[in-house]
A and B are shown apart, each in its own frame.
Chain A
Amino acid sequence: MSLDYILTLVTFSNIFSILALSLNIITGYAGQVSLGHAAFFGIGAYTSAILAVKFGVGYWWTLLASVLISGVVGLFLGLPSLRVKHDFLVLATIGTNFVVVALFKYIDFFGGPYGIVGIPMARIFGIDLSTTGFAVYTSIWLVISTVLNLYINKVYLRYGFEAVKENEEAAESIGVSVSLFKIYAFTISGALAGLAGNLWAYQMGMVFPDDFSFSISISILTMLVLGGMGTTSGPILGAYTLTFLPEALRFIQDYRMLLYGLIIVLVMMYQPSGLLGKNGILRKAFKR
């Protein structure tokens, strides 16, 4: 048996859980569907990669920079959402994703098509993180992200985001500042995705433009919706399921992708609110 094999999958699942949780804030709570979330992920990863490789910056500073820069970019990219609505916003987010990846690819500072290679191992408290260490380390961040999600869900957003999600005009009329909530959502979400980017950069030791392409955004959204939007456990379940599924399906070789797609379709048809959503089977099973 290979423990590293499982631990690597756990690390990837953790990183994507954090991404799904961060998307959950704008899509699950604030009701703004984004299909360009990989852009924030990429900005976080590239920030860490550039700082670590080109400027030799230590781990904690790269982490801080990734979170801050992605958060700020989230803030700025959140602004258009005040003006552009519904499906127009979905397309605007896809567009942002494409433009960001194109910039990574065409600007030499970002390494161009070669990406940035040679990110050292993450070193925290004097320990180089190995496979096991990194799995544990990302798990800690996953717990922190989950708590943050719970906090946003329970304490704060009962007042605002729920209303924004249901009906923006109505929310506005009862005095909720829709704009402010959306901006908060995009900023926090961007910062979390930046964290995931930092973890990815150090896990892989390198970043390439294609690691953050549109198809990654699609995966993140699928994980979120499959697990259950607007819940805290749903995004994590979705990320773990869709990361482990392709590996678990290896035994059927050539039909792997076919079944992977079919499972997504069937789950959504029969569990439209997600496995852990309002009417999800798993939610009911836990309640019982």
Chain B
Amino acid sequence: MQDIVNALVLGSIYVLISVGLTLVYGILKILHIAHAGIYTLGAFLGLMFYHLTGNFWLALFLSIILTGIAGIGVYRYFYKRVLEESRIVPLVISIGLFIVMQDLYRLIWSPYRQPFAVSFGIGDIRLKGIVITEHQVIILIVTFVSLLSMYFLMNHTKLGLAMRACAEDMAIAGTLGVDVEKTISVAFFLGSALAALAGILVGVYENNVYPTMGEVPSYKSFVVIVLGGFGSLYGAVLAGFILAFTETILVAWKGFVLPRDAIAFLVMITVLMIKPEGLFRRATR
């Protein structure tokens, strides 16, 4: 039982990081490794504003907005001019950006880990030997709320329709009167804002924020979106939870026979061998 709670929380974190990435990938088809740098930026800004204002939710809001704008900046100033090139070019730019970002954070905020101690005053929930800490409660609630709003946004607004149209085929969407440029910017804004949200929640949950905290998410989030079928939002959500549960079950059963990431990759490779386009292939391509 305790394991189910743990897996749910772990899954929520995977989902939050991956959904933002899926949005960006869905439209531009860029392997946006620097997304993990954006995630770290969100965490640092959140921590900075929390120290400045003392109000967690205000800090969260400010960080999300600023990180979202930074995301648009990454698109406008770095990716936009190479969209016509071979897809490996934006990938290498993304790698370079990730190096620059991590080193910039080290220069600004020092290489040391910093605690991000926030108390929400709910207290831990204990039920028949199962513990859900208040940070876990917050993560579960925030993930649920953001996924619900994403669902609403994608399915019941014009903007969502525009984003889905661009993800299908940018040229056709353009001829149908969709402002492609604006839609891409919005996707980057939303994707980066979600990354910031994830960064802050992970920062609080693990009580530390540091320049290289994006190292693991930089590839782990791709495992999730690959399993989810690359670009499918529903797929990413389901895959995030499936991965978390698989990892937890394997670890509970045998301990860490291999490091967690290697386990995740083994799961991914196995799935790809059986279903080369992920678990949840997009209906149309």
Query: Complex formed: what's the CA distance from A94 to B31 in Å?
Result: 13
B69 interfacial contact with A, CB 8 Å: no
Q: Per-position contact with B for A253-288: 1 when CB-CB < 8 Å, else 0?
A: 011011011111100110011000000000000000
Residues of A within 8 A of B31 (CB): 87, 90
Please count how many residues in chain B sit with their CB below 8 Å of the partner chain's CB atoms: 40
CB of B129 within 8 A of chain A?
A: no
Taking each of A103, A105, A261, which has the highest tally of chain B beta carbons within 10 Å of its own beta carbon? A261
B276 contacts partner chain A, Cβ-Cβ < 8 Å: yes
Asked if B161 is at the interface of the complex by the 8 Å CB criterion, the answer is no
Q: For the complex, is B82 an interface residue (Cβ under 8 Å from A)?
A: yes
B165-173, B177-185, B266-274: which one contacts chain A?
B266-274
Q: Chain A residues near B104 (CB, 8 Å)? A: 258
Digit string of A70-109 for contact with B (CB within 8 Å is 1, else 0)? 0000000000100111011011101110110111011000
Q: CA–CA, A99 to B222, complex, Å?
A: 16
Given the interface pairs A88-B226, A98-B261, A99-B265, the reply to whether A254 lies near B107 with Cβ below 8 Å is yes
Report the separation of the CA atoms of residues A255 and B106 in the bound assembly, to the nearest whole angstrom.
10
B259 within 8 A of A: yes
User: Is A218 in the interface zone, CB < 8 Å from B?
Assistant: yes
Interface flag for A214 (CB, 8 Å): yes
Chain A interface size, as a band, is: 35 or more
How far in angstroms is the closest Cβ of chain A from B12? 22
Within 8 A of A (CB), among B84-105: 85-86, 88-89, 91-93, 95-100, 103-104
Q: Does A226 count as interface, using CB distance less than 8 angstroms? A: yes
Q: A133 → chain B, closest Cβ, in Å? A: 34
Q: Which residues of A contact B261 (CB under 8 A)?
A: 98, 102
A:213-249 near B, CB below 8 Å: 214, 218, 221-222, 225-226, 229
Verify B258–A102 contact, CB threshold 8 A. Answer: yes
A268 touches B82 (CB 8 A): yes
Q: A80-B272, A84-B276, A91-B223 are in contact. Are A102 and B259 (CB under 8 A)?
A: yes
Contact with A along B221-256 (1 / 0, CB 8 A): 011001000100000000000000000000000000
The reply to whether B265 and A94 form a contact with Cβ atoms under 8 Å apart is yes
With A91-B223, A261-B103 already in contact, the answer to whether A226 and B92 are too (CB < 8 A) is yes
Q: Is the beta-carbon distance between B78 and A84 smaller than 8 angstroms?
A: no
The 6 A-B pairs of least Cβ separation, nearest first, read: A261-B99, A95-B265, A264-B96, A102-B262, A261-B100, A265-B96
User: What are 29 A-B contacts with C-beta separation under 8 Å?
Assistant: A33-B91, A88-B276, A88-B277, A90-B31, A91-B272, A92-B269, A92-B272, A94-B222, A94-B265, A102-B259, A102-B262, A106-B257, A106-B258, A221-B91, A221-B95, A222-B95, A222-B96, A229-B86, A254-B107, A258-B100, A258-B104, A261-B97, A261-B98, A261-B100, A261-B103, A264-B99, A265-B100, A268-B82, A268-B92
Task: Report A's interface with B, CB cutoff 8 A.
Answer: 27, 33, 80, 83-85, 87-88, 90-92, 94-96, 98-99, 101-103, 105-106, 214, 218, 221-222, 225-226, 229, 254-255, 257-258, 260-265, 268-269, 272-273
